[in-house]
Amino acid sequence: MTMIDPRDRLIVALDLPSVTAAEAMVARLGDAVSFYKIGMELTYGGGLGLARELIASGKKVFLDLKLHDIPNTVAKATEQVAGLGAAFLTIHAYPQTMKAARGALGGSPMKLLAVTVMTSYDDADLAEAGFAFGVREMVARRARQAQTAGVHGLILSAEEAAEMRALVGPDMLLVTPGIRMADGVLGDQKRVMTPARAIAAGADHLVVGRPVTQAADPVAAARAIVAEIAGAA
Ligand code: C5P
């Protein structure tokens, strides 16, 4: 596994209703957290300004925008996000999309993460959408296509991490949500893993939202996760 500072392995998902609430959470977390994920909801609510502020203050930012469009549009959008200084950007794992995004990176250190199949999809959903493969085969196929396209990593559930690590080898980044402490509240997550188990399964970064942002003491929650990661890495 690549050497990554345990604190940088924790990515806190800023799934909060407004930029103001997100800024307050970031201020509260202070040095306990170095890496934040900003998704579509916050982005469309003014979150790109927050992304700029976070990057200017030395934090790393994962923009979870799940790009997918014609190659020219994907390439131009990727250039814009790279220009912001984001560390990670998600794209859908369609070969055209992945090639366009990869080609647009130029010398940017931004890393692309491919979303293979959304975890809300099962085999019947893929069939309904017109695909010939079930989820397992599609995930494996798209993971290999991502690797061929030079995409840096994959976003996937912690449960898939061990199998995916075996499939793609040591160099692709595996970034996993669905993390809960052993005594944690599940919320709407059904298949979860503890930080230590996710790291042991081959995850490089863990995306954690509510277990930090809804904790009575978010700083203590973040520190506990980093300590568990450090113990497992
Ligand atoms: O609050 P919680 O830790 O469940 O948040 C997990 C984060 O990871 C959220 O931003 C959620 O959208 C994201 N995510 C997920 N499951 C996926 C893909 C993304 O929970 N399959």
In a domain? residue 143: yes
Domain housing 161: 6-232
In a domain? residue 1: no
In a domain? residue 208: yes
For ligand 1, atom 10: residue with the closest CA: 13
Active site residue 37: no
Q: 70 C-alpha to center of ligand 1: Å?
A: 26
Mind listing the pLDDT tens digit for each residue in 115-124?
A: 999 988 999 9
Number of folded domains that form the chain:
1
In a domain? residue 56: yes
Burial class, 57, CB count within 10 angstroms (exposed 0-12 / middle 13-18 / buried 19+): exposed
Band of residue 200 on the pLDDT scale cut at 50, 70, 90: very high
For ligand 1, atom 15: residue with the closest CA: 177
Q: Return the CATH number at 221.
A: 3.20.20.70
Residue to mutate (ligand 1; options 207, 208, 213, 214; most atoms within 8 A of CB): 207
Integer Cα distance of 205 and 113 in angstroms: 12
In a domain? residue 69: yes
Name the pTM for this structure.
0.96
In a domain? residue 81: yes
Integer Cα distance of 129 and 115 in angstroms: 17
In a domain? residue 114: yes
Residues 32-40, mean pLDDT to the nearest whole number: 97
Mind listing the pLDDT tens digit for each residue in 173-191?
A: 999 999 999 988 888 888 7
